[in-house]
Structure 1
Amino acid sequence: MTTIDDLPARRGALVEAAIRLLSENGPTAIKARTVTSEADLTTMALYSAFGGLPGLMTAVVEEGFARLDTRMRTIEPSGDPIADLFSMAIECRRFAIDNPYLYDLIFGIESRDAARGKLLAGAASTEGTSYQQSFATVANACDRAINAGRVRSPSGRHLAAQLWSLVHGYISLELGGHFAGFGDPVDEVLIPLAVSFMTGQGDDRDKSLSSTTKTKV
């Protein structure tokens, strides 16, 4: 077993190990012994670093939202804030497809494996710093759309909450296999849904449709 005296390094090693196991084997693989073995640490290291498995999973959720936020921030502000929002939605989808179990965990979804559902879903939280930052990234982008006069909303946070619900609802359904009958669910479901949403928020439909052509699919 490896000895890591530095607490932040030990915590980081355990979080990375848990994410690898989650990605490769799903939530049934997340147990104290399997995570510590993957990290080449003792079981005691887990308890000294996080107080137990629930504490570790809360840290994994925090890291998951940080990674999602990093992906969304790859969309740099352009002259078309609606296109930017569409591109961020597509990037969220890519993140979910690349990390389905981690996505389920951070949003408290149990769709792919209920065996460990209660433990893992209980780790999801809207109180973590990374969640707040990822939501702020969306809200700031929404503020730009409002300030540009494209849409109407009391605030970027209000618009972001609605858009967040739309995008993650779509992603959950797609990951659950509910759009298997569509040749291209992004073009046939997500983008038309997003255009209808933006039109409902006051955007001109032709402008929204034009913005989709600038989306980084």
Structure 2
Amino acid sequence: MAKPDATTPRERYRAQVRTEIKEHAWEQIATAGASALSLNAIAKRMGVSGPALYRYFAGRDELITELIRDGYRSLADTLRTAAADGADLSGLAHALRGWALEDPHRYFLLYGTPVPGYHAPDDTTAISSEIMATLLDACAALTTEVQGTPAAPFAAHLEAHRAWAGDHPAPPAALHLAMSFWTRMHGVLSLELAGHFTGMRFEPARLFAAELDDLLRQRSA
């Protein structure tokens, strides 16, 4: 027997309006970028007054924060689901690319140029840490370290500066692999989604796959 809905009609209506506001926000971001996001412009599109909209979001920054939370949560869930289905690091890379291509504006809100004057709250960092934890699990599964063997210089540096990895126990080699994966895969994705490969007459998917294969080959050498 299904559980009765614990929310009230008023709460459901509020959630519905917030969802509609976010949909208009994404449309605005797609047209003019996140820095031009305006609650008053969204209110006009919805046919309500600006003050009415401020009952649902206190201001532009709160709305941006909600969009960022949604974006990070979506990616975290995508990668966690892929990992649960047996995806290794290569599989996670392709899951990342599929997620990015699905909505480039969402991707750039998270990983593009920061919005001027906006500072994300700590809880968005906590969600993004879930993404890195999934990647670190996959990287740790691919790396082995012989007891007593000194870590490579940059891996040793990461071991001493591992706050970005949270509480994950990944060894230095896994930290290095995760950081290399993150920078190389996002580098290709950012250029592809920004259109920098347009007219170069090659398939970006092949470049992404080649960079991934090269990275994994170096790790296994």
Q: Which has the higher contact order (CA 8 A, sep 6+)?
A: 1
| AA at the equivalent of 1:18 | A
TM-score, structure 2 length as denominator? 0.66
Please say if 1:184 is aligned against 2:203. Answer: yes
Q: Counterpart of 1:196?
A: 214
Q: Counterpart of 2:42?
A: 35
Please say if 1:167 is aligned against 2:185. Answer: yes
Q: For residues 95 and 30 of structure 1, what CA distance do their matches in structure 2 show? A: 23
Deviation at 1:51, TM superposition (A): 2.4
Moved more, 189-198 or 44-53: 44-53
| AA at the equivalent of 2:33 | P
Deviation at 1:64, TM superposition (A): 0.8
Q: Counterpart of 1:68?
A: 75
Q: Counterpart of 2:134?
A: 137
| AA at the equivalent of 1:27 | G
Please say if 1:14 is aligned against 2:21. Answer: yes
RMSD over aligned CA atoms reads 3.5
Contact 1:108–1:123, Cα closer than 8 Å, also in 2: no
Query: How many residues align structurally?
Result: 185
Q: Are the structure 2 counterparts of residues 59 and 74 from structure 1 closer, same or farther at C-alpha, using a change threshold of 3 Å?
A: same
Contact 1:72–1:91, Cα closer than 8 Å, also in 2: yes
User: Unaligned regions of 5+ residues in structure 2, if any?
Assistant: 1-8, 147-154, 156-170
Q: Are the structure 2 counterparts of residues 6 and 43 from structure 1 closer, same or farther at C-alpha, using a change threshold of 3 Å?
A: farther
TM-score, structure 1 length as denominator? 0.67
Q: For residues 51 and 40 of structure 2, what CA distance do their matches in structure 1 show? A: 10
User: Unaligned regions of 5+ residues in structure 1, if any?
Assistant: 111-116, 205-217
| AA at the equivalent of 2:172 | P
Contact 2:79–2:134, Cα closer than 8 Å, also in 1: yes
Q: For residues 140 and 77 of structure 1, what CA distance do their matches in structure 2 show? A: 11
The alignment-based identity, stated in percent, is 25
Deviation at 1:171, TM superposition (A): 0.6
